[in-house]
Structure 1
Amino acid sequence: MQEPTTLPSDGSPPSNLDAEVSIIGSLLIDGDAILRIEPFLRPEHFYGEQNAEIYTACRELFMESVGIDQETVRDRLIAKDILEDVGGDAYLSAAVAATPHSVHIVDYAHLVHNAYVIRQLGQAGIQINEIGSNYSNTRDVDRAVKSAEEIIFRIGQTYESADFLPIRDARSITEFFDPPTVDDTDESNQPIATGFASLDNVLGGFHRSDMIVLAARPGFGKSTLALNVGLNAAKNGKTVGIFSLEMGIDQVAHRMAAAHARINIQNVRNDHLTPAERDRLSDAYGYLSDMRIYVDDAALQTASALSAKARRLKLQAGLDFLIVDYMQLISGSSSGGREANRVQEVSEISRYLKAIARDLNIPVLACSQLNRAVEQRKSHEPRLADLRESGSIEQDADVVMFIHRDDKNMSEEEWNRRNPTQVYPRGLTEIIIAKHRHGPTANIEMAVRDEWGLFSSPTEPGMD
């Protein structure tokens, strides 16, 4: 097997041409070996152009279910009129002669891929240096930093994706027969409790690597409920990150403090407080200051920048739980303003959020808008099809929850006319768990005090 690539002393880009030739030789003597490297090795990963062309021919034969050997590859190169360009029959024969067997083809492929990544990092360094050398970027440093982060993030996406594994390698099976040593102080894989018993009883908390979507029409309290869950998680010692694209950090602090102190949010904002309320607010702000809550309130966020920031926070603070408020305010990479492009963008954003949850092993709570179809329905009860701008949100999410409130859908006068024997459900809400990948769905009754920004159990004192 070849040794790992080292940086050339002549200043040329790092590569491992010996490993590239060994890959070609391995495929020519054992065509089935392509099954072991094709999922992650691409022609552009090769440094030698002739090796890239030959590997491309091998992949084409594989895709067409044609056997791979020296003759079939030779015929394909002739058909493409590039046999002589890659070195002719002599080059193919030399590759076979230099490779006694295909046992180490995966190792060779990793060496070639690693060299490619290092070359990409070199190119990224040039691009980042150009950003750093452009004086005009001093006028918008945040944008310059985001551009640099996106360059590095794109390189990270070149690593091999997951491939088929035998089911015996599933962690649930291996840990059943060989339980890991349990550290009672390690909560890195434990679910995040929402702080609402009725919700946790159904969901078991928010599980690591899950994407949870909380959707509602504007004004129904999705930001309020998301912040309540984040505050409860922080009270339990978790590190919470919040991307607040709609509210600034001061508004987030006002809301969390008001919910904790049970003070009218408007009074907090306008500083119309009684002496007793001011004391409670002071205690709440002090309490919040000691919590590991981090807020990014940039109004313009791209999906890739959001991902890079979440990864950085994970490294710096040990992120346990991430809130995104809300999805439709994030920008994707698609250009143009047409509806079809926006659907593609939201689909991309949804995939990014799911990837963050899996890669960082944290639950991601993403708030989402509903379309207006729910308002045309007599019951006003939301459905999965109401998720705005993309069906992929439903597909990517592990849990989808809706907030349904009759007191927002109709006035007290209309309610009494339609339901003369029932009390108007002021401050009562239903959390509809419409999708639960790992368990049952359910409708959960909760109470909400909009003036405090607080959800709770309907039976909790002070919530009526």
Structure 2
Amino acid sequence: MAEVGKEWERFAASLYDPEQDELDFADPPTVVGTGVPSLDLVLMGGLAPGCHVLMAQPGAGKSALALHVAMCVAAQGGRVLFASTEMTRQQCLARLSAAVAHSTPGIPDFYWSAWEQMGRNARREMASFDLDAQGRLDYLGNFAAIRALRELRRACPGLAVSDDGRVASVAALRETCADGRAAGMDLLVVDYLQRLRPPEGCEREDQYRQVTETSRALMDMARELSLPVLVISSMNREAMRSKEASMSGGRGSGDIEFDAVSIWQLMRDGEDEGGFQRVSLHVTKNRRGPTTGERPLRLLFDTRHNTFSEVGE
């Protein structure tokens, strides 16, 4: 057996406990499945604690895919916070409810884009009656959108969506997530990185510095809470012009790719065909396993119902 000396043994013992290493081996961190089987296969089971970055060109469906993952995790009993700095809570619920109606027998199908018009119709109908608050809730149960929303709450009780000040900045999000983690939160989804207010003291810095510090703060939070965090990021102009998937396409900071456990890039494959968009999902970085290389995952995005399904080559 090699000898290292007593001084080194004392130094090493001050840094770690060998017996704890062995105990930790039998208590690995929980991995959260995304609901996309082929993606989970690449990620070695799903989302491990740390930051995972989803990038895409505008309109490719990055927010839609993030909502899809959040709903799938919650449908399997997970507890998920979808923190939106771009869409309102109602806009998120419109997409989620349209997906639920599309897959639930007995609830009439509708497009998420019709959500606001259906709400206006409901208000106009109820104006003809003298209804109290409970009466309004009872009457709203006649509408497909509300039936879908109630089914969403039943099927995905662990899904929380927030668009308020509790998720608008890094500091507020950190506090909210600490409370959520104590309540059993399994996944945080942030939509999106560049709209999240940076840590205190960086407000007057340039965009590169702000995004860098925001990315690092999210990574530190994920590590501290042992929490998977799926972060949506917009892309820089060079990456949008390129037709090649790259892990360095995040807008505003080159540090995003260094902080991430995995990086995904969603790319459109051709034009929208009657509300359906073929997309390819590239995993360009994966600390826990392989990348997709030249064989991206092929998905069919139903843009009207906010759903994704896997397709063959």
TM class by shorter chain equals 0.7 to 0.9
1:430 and 2:294 matched? no
Q: Which residue of 2 aligns with 1:224?
A: 64
Deviations 1:13-64 (A, max 9, x none): xxxxxxxxxxxxxxxxxxx9xx97xxxxxxxxxxxxxxxxxxxxxxxxxxxx
- Structure 1 residues 191, 375: closer, same or farther in 2, change over 3 A? closer
Distance in 1 between the 2:203 and 2:225 partners? 31
Deviations 1:257-293 (A, max 9, x none): 11122231112232199xxxx7654442112223122
Runs (5+) with no aligned partner, structure 2: 1-6, 103-109, 122-141
Distance in 2 between the 1:434 and 1:285 partners? 35
Within-5 A mapping of 1:195-214: 195-214=35-54
Contact kept, 8 Å, 1:244 with 1:295, in 2: the verdict is: yes
Q: Which residue of 2 aligns with 1:346?
A: 211
Distance in 2 between the 1:243 and 1:368 partners? 13
Q: Which residue of 2 aligns with 1:450?
A: 303
**Residue 111 of structure 2, aligned match among 258, 264, 267:** 264
Counting matched residue pairs gives 269
SS of 1:250 mapped into structure 2: helix
Runs (5+) with no aligned partner, structure 1: 1-31, 37-162, 181-187, 413-423, 460-464
Distance in 2 between the 1:310 and 1:245 partners? 15
- Higher RCO structure (Cα 8 Å, ≥6 apart): 2
SS of 1:383 mapped into structure 2: coil
Q: Which residue of 1 aligns with 2:149?
A: 285
Contact kept, 8 Å, 2:263 with 2:286, in 1: the verdict is: yes
Distance in 2 between the 1:219 and 1:403 partners? 10
Distance in 1 between the 2:275 and 2:16 partners? 52
Q: Which residue of 1 aligns with 2:16?
A: 165
Higher normalized strand content (fraction of residues): 2
TM-score for both structures, normalised by structure 1: 0.53
Deviations 1:93-128 (A, max 9, x none): xxxxxxxxxxxxxxxxxxxxxxxxxxxxxxxxxxxx
CA deviation after TM superposition for structure 1 residue 393, in Å = 0.8
Contact kept, 8 Å, 1:399 with 1:436, in 2: the verdict is: yes
Distance in 2 between the 1:357 and 1:297 partners? 20
Distance in 2 between the 1:251 and 1:360 partners? 29
SS of 2:248 mapped into structure 1: helix
Deviations 1:403-461 (A, max 9, x none): 011335xx89xxxxxxxxxxx996211000000001000111111011111111127xx
Within-5 A mapping of 1:405-444: 405-407=268-270, 427-442=277-292, 443-444=296-297
**Residue 295 of structure 1, aligned match among 121, 136, 161:** 161
Within-5 A mapping of 1:118-137: none
Contact kept, 8 Å, 2:112 with 2:304, in 1: the verdict is: yes
Say which is worse superposed, 287-296 or 208-217, in terms of deviation: 287-296
TM-score for both structures, normalised by structure 2: 0.76
Distance in 2 between the 1:438 and 1:373 partners? 28
CA deviation after TM superposition for structure 1 residue 247, in Å = 1.0
Deviations 1:45-85 (A, max 9, x none): xxxxxxxxxxxxxxxxxxxxxxxxxxxxxxxxxxxxxxxxx
Higher normalized helix content (fraction of residues): 1
Contact kept, 8 Å, 1:407 with 1:427, in 2: the verdict is: yes
**2:303 is aligned with what amino acid?**
D
Within-5 A mapping of 1:6-405: 164-165=15-16, 168=18, 171=21, 173-174=22-23, 179=26, 189-262=29-102, 263-271=110-118, 281-290=145-154, 291-298=157-164, 301-315=168-182, 317-332=183-198, 333-335=200-202, 341-377=206-242, 380-405=243-268
SS of 2:94 mapped into structure 1: helix
* Cα RMSD, aligned residues only: 3.1
Distance in 1 between the 2:89 and 2:269 partners? 31
Distance in 2 between the 1:208 and 1:215 partners? 18
Distance in 1 between the 2:297 and 2:227 partners? 24
SS of 1:387 mapped into structure 2: coil
Q: Which residue of 2 aligns with 1:103?
A: none
Deviations 1:199-239 (A, max 9, x none): 11111343342211001122111110000000001101111
SS of 1:446 mapped into structure 2: strand
SS of 2:149 mapped into structure 1: helix
Distance in 2 between the 1:192 and 1:218 partners? 27
**1:196 is aligned with what amino acid?**
V
Deviations 1:363-403 (A, max 9, x none): 100000001112333xx233122211111110010000000
SS of 1:385 mapped into structure 2: coil
Higher-Rg structure is 1
Contact kept, 8 Å, 2:194 with 2:211, in 1: the verdict is: yes
Distance in 2 between the 1:170 and 1:195 partners? 33
Distance in 1 between the 2:99 and 2:257 partners? 30
Distance in 2 between the 1:175 and 1:306 partners? 28
Distance in 2 between the 1:282 and 1:301 partners? 27
Distance in 1 between the 2:197 and 2:171 partners? 9
Distance in 1 between the 2:95 and 2:262 partners? 25
Distance in 2 between the 1:386 and 1:306 partners? 25
Contact kept, 8 Å, 2:83 with 2:162, in 1: the verdict is: yes
Contact kept, 8 Å, 1:381 with 1:404, in 2: the verdict is: no
